[in-house]
Structure 1
Amino acid sequence: MPPQDHPAWLRAERRALGDRIRERRMWRDLTQEKLAERAGVSRDTVQRIERGTNDPRYSDLARIARALDTPLAQLVG
């Protein structure tokens, strides 16, 4: 099922996850590009996750959490 066809509650969870990642990224004074570089993912991946427009892979979230020096559990809340 494409992400836009997911139920509203799931889309809201994805947006909340993106907001938490954006918050931590900005707190650490990182651009999306710099976070992507540190995490070993594409900038497009970071952008889509922050917007809540895709279902991120666990491995991407784990890499982003490590790059932000934040426990993964805090990101997925």
Structure 2
Amino acid sequence: MPTRRHPYPEWALARRALLGRRIAALRRASGMSQDTLAAAAYVDRRSIMRWESGTRDPRYLDLVLLAHALGVDVSDLVTVEDPQAG
């Protein structure tokens, strides 16, 4: 895979990490394991692990499937509120 010509800015990487924490918090709140969420969202468990750890970004359709599986709106996944901040 080719490397990016320009690295992502820090604020974008911070938002990626925040998205991962949000997915993990919503998954735990719904009582799902990573395996269960992966099956409900039609992805591999490795994808859930990568998104929650903030090492990869889900595609838009993956966000739609995640939101549906978690019973939330897509906007609830991409909110700027940090689930660990309180």
The residue type paired with residue 29 of structure 2 is: W
Unaligned stretches of 5+ in structure 1? none
Name the larger-Rg structure: 2
Report the identity percentage. Answer: 40
SS of alignment partner, residue 30 of structure 1:
coil
Distance 1:45 1:24 in 2: 16
Distance 1:73 1:66 in 2: 12
The residue type paired with residue 67 of structure 1 is: A
Mapping 1:18-29, distance limit 5 Å: 18-29=20-31
RMSD across aligned positions (CA): 1.3
**Which residue does 1:65 correspond to in 2?**
67
- Higher helix proportion, which one? 1
Distance 1:35 1:6 in 2: 28
Distance 1:29 1:59 in 2: 23
Q: Deviations over 1:18-74 (max 9, x none)?
A: 111100100111110100001111111111111111122111111011000010011
Mapping 1:35-50, distance limit 5 Å: 35-50=37-52
TM-score, normalising length: structure 1: 0.91
- Runs of 4+ more than 4 Å apart: none
